[in-house]
Structure 1
C-alpha cells in the first residue's frame, strides 16, 4: 500500500475570468452638442458587450453618470448588475475631436466563474481523490477585486481543506493558496506491514506509521480477555516533523470499535508502545493491546480530530 498522497496545486497563475480585461474600443458621435458624454449610449454599449461575450450571464441594469464632460483621457465608471452583484466598468475617453471620441471599457473588478475554479482544482487532485467534493459557494459568478479571495473547500471522508482562490488582476488571473492541497484521499487500506504517511492540514508530511505484525492470545491464569482474545499490534512510528503525538488506534470487529487500552501484566506483549512526543527523525516502537471477540477485523488510525487516516485489515 502506498503512503498518503498529495498533489501540488501549481503556483503559476491561471485564468478563471469570463472575458478579457480590455474591452474593444468603440467610437460614438454625440449629437446635440453640450460637450458631455451620452450616458445612455455608453450604458447600452456596456450591456451589448456583456450579452455578446458572457451569453450565460444576462446583465441587468447598467448605470452611467450623466453630465460627464468630454475630454482627452477622461475616465469615469459605469455600474452593471451581473449575477446579483454590481460590476464597476471604467470608461476611458480618447481621440477627442469636438463631440466625437472613442472610448475603452475596462472592468474594475474580475468576473470569476466559480465553475471553472472547481474544474481547475479538481483537475489538480490525485486520482485517489476523484470522489472529493469541492464547494466554492452557491454563486456561480463572483465579482472580486484584485487581491480578493474566493474560498473553496475540498472534502473527502471527513477530511477538509480550504483552498483560497486569489485574484491577481482584473483579467481574472488567479493563483491558489496554499500551493499544496493536503491529503484528501480516502483512508489508505492495506495489509499488515504496510506504511501510512500522516499529513497535516498544511499538506506537510508529519508521521510515518507501520503496523509490522499482529499477535493473538487467549490470556493466562492472571489475565483473561473479556471478549475472547487479546490482540497485540506491533507499531512503528517515525516523526517527519516535531511534536508528533496526536494519533489513535482502534480495532473494529463485527461493527464494534475496541480501543487500545487492554491491560496485560504478562510479557507476551513487551515492550508496550508508550505515549511519547516525537521530534523530527525520532522513532518509537512497541505493542498496542486490544480486547476483541474475533481474529478477523481491522485496525484503524485516526488523528486528533477523529479523521480516519488508515486501515489495516487482518
Structure 2
C-alpha cells in the first residue's frame, strides 16, 4: 500500500511568516505566537487551537532557531522556528513542526481507505486507533489500530515516516 501524506498543518509545508517589528528590528514573541497560531487554522483536522507560546528573549540573528509550542485540542505541539531576513525592515521566520502532528481521524481514514475493497464494503467494519484525538510523535513511532470486520478484530500497525505526517502501514 502506498504511503499517504497528511495535510495536517505546517507539518506538511514549512511556513514563511512575517514578524512585524515596531521601531526597528526587534523580536516580538507575541507576533510570532499570533502568526504561528493563525497559520494552523484549518490544518489540524478541525481540532481547536489554543495559545501559542514562544521564548521572550530571542536575539535577532540570521538563522537563529528556537522552539515554540501551540496547544492543539489541549495538547502541546512543538514547532521549530527559524529567523530569516533579520537585517531587513521586516523580519521573517519559518516554522515547521518539530514532531509529526497527525489527527487520529486522519489515521482512521487512511486505514479505512486502504482496506481490501471487498472488506471495506461490509456493513460491520470499524477502525479505531486509540483514545487520542491527536498524535504528536517522532518519526519511527508506531501507531496501532484495531480493524473490526463482522466482529473479528485485527491489529494494524502504522509507522510514522517523517515530521510532515507521512505514515505507512507496516507489512
TM-score (norm 1): 0.49
Q: CA deviation at 1:120?
A: 2.4
The 5 A counterparts of 1:181-200 are none
Structure 1 residue ranges, 4+ long, deviating more than 4 angstroms after superposition: none
Match of 2:36 among 40, 46, 58: 46
Q: 2:106 aligns with which of 110, 116, 120?
A: 116
Question: Is the Cα contact below 8 Å between 1:152 and 1:163 reproduced in 2?
Answer: yes
When Rg is computed on C-alpha atoms for both structures, the one with the higher figure is 1
Which one of the candidate residues 127, 132, 136 is aligned to 1:139? Answer: 132
The equivalent residue for 1:168 is 161
Kindly tell me the number of residue pairs found equivalent between the two proteins.
167
Question: What is the distance in 2 between the residues matched to 1:15 and 1:98?
Answer: 35
Structure 2 unaligned segments of length 5 or more: list them. Answer: none
Does the 8 Å CA contact 1:22/1:104 hold for their aligned counterparts?
A: no
* 2:78 corresponds to 1:88: yes
Which structure features the higher share of helix residues? 2
In structure 1, the residue corresponding to 2:8 is in which secondary structure?
Answer: coil
Structure with the bigger RCO (C-alpha within 8 Å, sep 6+) is 2
Per-residue CA shift, 1:66-106, capped at 9, x if unaligned? 11010010000100110221111111111121674211111
Higher strand share: 1
CA distance in 2, matches of 1:154, 1:61: 35
Question: How large is the RMSD of aligned CA atoms in angstroms?
Answer: 2.2
1:158 positional shift: 5.0
Measured in 1, the distance between the counterparts of 2:156 and 2:44 equals 26
> Which among 138, 141, 163 is matched to residue 148 of structure 1?
141
Secondary structure of the structure 1 residue equivalent to 2:41: helix
- Quickly say closer, same or farther: Cα 1:73–1:156, change in 2 above 3 A: same
Contact in 1 for aligned 2:16/2:95 (Cα 8 Å)? yes
Q: Secondary structure at the match of 2:63?
A: coil
User: How far apart are residue 51 of structure 1 and its match?
Assistant: 2.0
Measured in 1, the distance between the counterparts of 2:126 and 2:37 equals: 35
